[in-house]
A and B are shown apart, each in its own frame.
Chain A
Amino acid sequence: MIKRKDALILKSYNYSNSSKIIHILTEDSERISLIAKGARRTNSRFGGNIEPLNLSEIVYYIKRDRDMGILKEAMVKEPYLFIKDDLYKMNIAWGLLWIAKRIPDPQDGLFGLENRSLTFLNRGFKEEVLIYFMLSLFHLSGVPPKLNKCVKCGSKEVLFFDVTSGGAVCEACKLGTSFRLNNLLNLLNDLKKGRLREWKEITDSERRKVIRMVFEYGLYHLGEWLNRLSDILPFEIMPKER
């Protein structure tokens, strides 16, 4: 059956003499692979419509008992051009696409989250988009960090963030590995809600701390598969050591 859907192009690679295989995330957050026949020819109707990082409307069909479908049509809806003109943003976007490609079970809402995050990146925000994305991904995956009160005792006097406990903790409940929050609790709440402008108000060392906190939280709660994200993102975003 022929289907028409919006999809985010995650990856494309050459196949046979003139074709390409594309990996996409559809509007219902399903990951599929399609063959775009003749896509590498200069007169191909697919052209730039199936480049990675495009949000495109695609028409395709998958024969019964086949894993891979055939791409019939593609029309770009949002090419995210301001991302593609900036190498730093490109790296962050690659990180977002990599997560969509590797996450074990893509949850409902992942497609929307990817596009919202890419829109933020396209508008000029940078590494704060990654934090927004990760916090929202934890929510989609059912493991959101609790930020309003101490995860362990319920106290509202939270001063630390503890990865293994699952969120904010108070002085009495903190562990040796807990991060001191200072004023970062409000920031995390703002970023979670998509208020990304607050990121500019904190110092570089606080930014690095938030990135480490969120990344370690992801590794612990989503799994070790996330570890390779540090190879994709620029070193200045993702310090390799705590």
Chain B
Amino acid sequence: MRLTEALQFFPGIGKKSAERIAFYILSNPQDGKKIAESVEEVLSKIKFCNICGNITVEDPCSICSSHERNRTTICVVEKPMDVFAIERAGIYDGLYHVLGGLISPLDNRGPDEIRIEPLILRAKKEDLNEIIIATNPTTEGEATALYLQESLKEFNIKISRIAQGIPVGTDLDFADDITLLRAMEGRREFKD
């Protein structure tokens, strides 16, 4: 059945789950139609913002065109989902830049394959005070951060990296050595 095969494209959906969803759609055609229409709408209307690379209905996106946000700070992330995560937390009011991937030579992805050049152009053109590199603290994320730091250092802009350390609500004794080291390196003084 084509539907069960197609459903298995989704992450985390195996053959059994795909069959269950397919039978649910067959027995609830209205829900199936809603899903199909939503998918079609998303695919026809959603595009990438020409400035930041985030997904959007209108180009430029609502964040890039907003004048209420801090337009002197750019937060660099790997993928659109990271923008959603930071926006959900409501802790940042600057602009974004979505790289669309990380440098990973083992996956045939070098600096030219991700949106680093558009970021350098933004650093040249826009009046920026700070660029926050918020790629994941993985080997590829760190390598990308190092590359960005090197590429952006010629501009008179503060380049910062998001802090790394112990996640809230977890135990120190479960933390690995590297996380503990980064947490110690990034410790901060109590302020009055």
Contact = CB atoms under 8 A, between A and B. Distances in A.
Nearest to A78: B177
Interface in A40-68: 42-43, 45-49, 51-54
B88 to A, nearest CB: 15
Main secondary structure of the interface of A (DSSP, over half): mixed
Contacts of B181: 81
A231 B108 contact: yes
B154 to A, nearest CB: 16
Interface size band for A = 20 to 34
Interface string A60-99: 0000000000000001100101001111001100110110
A76 B106 contact: no
Contact of A94 (B106, B167, B174, B178): B106
Contact of B150 (A85, A87, A231): A87
Interface string A92-113: 0011011001000000000000
Contacts of B90: none
A85 to B, nearest CB: 8
B139 A53 contact: yes
Interface size band for B = 20 to 34
B175 A91 contact: no
Contacts of B8: none
Contact of A43 (B105, B108, B167, B176): B167
B138 A16 contact: no
Nearest to A15: B11
B86 interface: no
Contacts of B147: 87
Given A43-B170, A47-B176, A76-B177, A98 B106 contact: yes
A232 interface: yes
B120 interface: no
Contact of A17 (B11, B108, B137, B175): B11
A48 B179 contact: yes
Contacts of B167: 42-43
B105 A98 contact: yes
Interface in B133-192: 137-140, 142-143, 146-147, 150, 167, 169-170, 174-179, 181
A11 interface: yes
A90 B175 CA distance: 24
A190 B140 CA distance: 33
B142 A42 contact: no
A153 B176 CA distance: 57
Interface in B59-92: none
Contacts of B174: 43, 45, 47
Contact of A16 (B12, B106, B137, B139): B12
Interface string A1-34: 0000000000110011100000000000000000
Interface string B80-121: 000000000000000000000000011010000000000000
Nearest to B169: A43
Nearest to A74: B176
Query: Considering the complex of A and B, which 4 residue pairs feature the smallest CB-CB distances, nearest first?
Result: A42-B167, A16-B12, A48-B178, A232-B105
Given A17-B11, A47-B176, A85-B146, 7 more contacts: A17-B12, A47-B179, A49-B178, A84-B142, A87-B146, A90-B146, A101-B106
